[in-house]
Structure 1
Amino acid sequence: MSEKEEQVRGRETVNALQDADGTTIPTTRIAENTYPPQDGGKQAWLFLFGACIIEITAWGFPYCYGVFEAYFNSHPPFQGQNLVSIGGVLSNGVLQLSLPPIMYYVNNFPGHRIAVMWAGCLVCTFSAIAAGFAKTPLQLVMAIGLCYGIGAGMLFAPSIHLMAEWFKVKKSLAYGFICAAGAAAGAGLPPVYTFCLNRYGYKVTLIGWGIITFVVTSLGLLCVRPRLPVAAKPPPPSWRDFDFAKKPLFLIMLLATIVQAIGHYGPSLYLPSFAADFGISASQGAMLASFLNLAQAIGQPLQGWLADWRKSYYIPMLISTIGASLEALLIWGFARNLGLLCLFALAFGSTAGGFAVLRPRFAAEIVGDQDQQDNQSLLVFAILAASRGSAIIGSGFIMKNLVHEGSSTEGWGGGQAWSQLVIYTGVIMFTASFGAIGMFVGPQRRYGGGRAKSMTSEKSSNAVDNSSELV
Structure 2
Amino acid sequence: MAMITEASKIGSKIGLGVDAYELSVISKAPEPAVDSSWVEQRASSLRSDLPDSDTAVHALPPFDGGWRAWTFVAAGFVLETFIWGFNYSYGVFQNYYTSHPPFEQSSHVAVASIGPTGLAIMFTEGLLLSFFHTRYPDYMKYTLWTGLTLFVLALLLSSFVSDVALLIFLQGICLGVGGGMMYWPSLSLLPEWFVQRRGLASGIMFAGGGVGGFVFPLVVEALLSRIGFRWTLRIWALLMAVVGGVAILGVRPRVPVPKFHAGHPRPAFFPANTQFHKRPVFWCFTLTYWLQGMCFYPVSLYIAVFTATIASPLSAATALSLFNSAGVIGQVLMGYFTDRWPYPRIMFGSALGCCLSAFLLWGFADTLGTIFAFAVLFGGLGGGFPSVLFAAATDSAGANPEQATTALTAVTAIKGIAAVLGPIASSLLLEAGKKSSSSAFTTYGKGGFGPVIVFVGSCAAVTSLSTLAVAAARLDVRPRF
Structure 1 counterpart of 2:100, from 75, 83, 86:
75
Offset at residue 353 of structure 1 (A) = 1.1
Distance in 2 of aligned mates of 1:80 and 1:171: 47
Of the structure 1 ranges 80-89 and 237-246, higher mean CA displacement relative to structure 2 is found in 237-246
Structure 1 counterpart of 2:239, from 193, 204, 212:
212
Find out whether 1:352 has 2:382 as its counterpart. Answer: yes
Distance in 2 of aligned mates of 1:320 and 1:429: 9
Of the structure 1 ranges 145-154 and 231-240, higher mean CA displacement relative to structure 2 is found in 231-240
1:113-132 to 2 correspondences below 5 Å? 113-132=140-159
1:181-330 to 2 correspondences below 5 Å? 181-232=208-259, 235-236=267-268, 240-278=272-310, 280-310=311-341, 312-330=342-360
Structure 2 counterpart of 1:420, from 448, 451, 454:
451
2:449 alignment partner, SS class:
helix
Structure 2 counterpart of 1:56, from 81, 92, 101:
81
Of the structure 1 ranges 389-398 and 134-143, higher mean CA displacement relative to structure 2 is found in 389-398
Amino acid at match of 2:15: T
Distance 1:111 1:25, change over 3 A: same
Offset at residue 22 of structure 1 (A) = 4.2
Offset at residue 232 of structure 1 (A) = 4.1
1:346-385 to 2 correspondences below 5 Å? 346-369=376-399, 372-374=400-402, 376-385=403-412
Q: Deviations over 1:415-441 (max 9, x none)?
A: 6x1100011110001111213322222
1:127 alignment partner, SS class:
helix
Q: Report the TM-score, using the length of structure 1 for normalisation.
A: 0.87
Contact 1:17 1:24 (8 Å CA) reproduced = no
Amino acid at match of 1:126: L
Partner residue in 2 for 1:435: 467
Offset at residue 231 of structure 1 (A) = 3.3
Contact 2:87 2:115 (8 Å CA) reproduced = yes
Q: Which runs of 4+ in 1 moved over 6 A?
A: 11-15
Amino acid at match of 2:190: M
Distance in 1 of aligned mates of 2:292 and 2:84: 18
Aligned Cα RMSD in Å? Answer: 2.1
Of the structure 1 ranges 420-429 and 226-235, higher mean CA displacement relative to structure 2 is found in 226-235
2:17 alignment partner, SS class:
strand
Distance 1:76 1:246, change over 3 A: same
Offset at residue 21 of structure 1 (A) = 4.3
Contact 2:276 2:398 (8 Å CA) reproduced = no
2:300 alignment partner, SS class:
helix
Of the structure 1 ranges 358-367 and 339-348, higher mean CA displacement relative to structure 2 is found in 358-367
Q: Structure 2 stretches of 5 or more lacking a match?
A: 25-56, 261-265
Q: Deviations over 1:145-204 (max 9, x none)?
A: 101111111111111122121111111111111111111101001111011111101110
Q: Report the TM-score, using the length of structure 2 for normalisation.
A: 0.85
Amino acid at match of 1:316: I
Distance 1:12 1:71, change over 3 A: same
Contact 1:95 1:150 (8 Å CA) reproduced = yes
Contact 2:130 2:405 (8 Å CA) reproduced = yes
Distance 1:241 1:153, change over 3 A: farther
1:223 alignment partner, SS class:
coil
Distance in 2 of aligned mates of 1:201 and 1:70: 13
Distance in 1 of aligned mates of 2:12 and 2:389: 26
Contact 1:125 1:211 (8 Å CA) reproduced = yes
Distance 1:130 1:238, change over 3 A: closer
Distance in 2 of aligned mates of 1:210 and 1:251: 39
Distance 1:445 1:66, change over 3 A: closer
Q: Deviations over 1:202-249 (max 9, x none)?
A: 110011111111100011112221111123466545664433222222
Find out whether 1:23 has 2:15 as its counterpart. Answer: yes
Distance in 2 of aligned mates of 1:378 and 1:22: 20
Q: Deviations over 1:100-131 (max 9, x none)?
A: 01111112222221221111111111111111
Contact 1:84 1:137 (8 Å CA) reproduced = yes
1:385-396 to 2 correspondences below 5 Å? 385-396=412-423
Amino acid at match of 1:261: G
Offset at residue 18 of structure 1 (A) = 2.9
Offset at residue 17 of structure 1 (A) = 4.8
Q: Deviations over 1:281-304 (max 9, x none)?
A: 000110000000111111111001
Amino acid at match of 2:78: I
Amino acid at match of 1:43: R
Distance in 1 of aligned mates of 2:161 and 2:81: 24
Contact 1:16 1:27 (8 Å CA) reproduced = no
Contact 1:197 1:205 (8 Å CA) reproduced = yes
1:309 alignment partner, SS class:
coil
1:98 alignment partner, SS class:
helix
Partner residue in 1 for 2:130: 103
Offset at residue 15 of structure 1 (A) = 7.5
- The number of residue pairs the alignment matches comes to 431
1:382 alignment partner, SS class:
helix
Distance in 2 of aligned mates of 1:399 and 1:19: 53
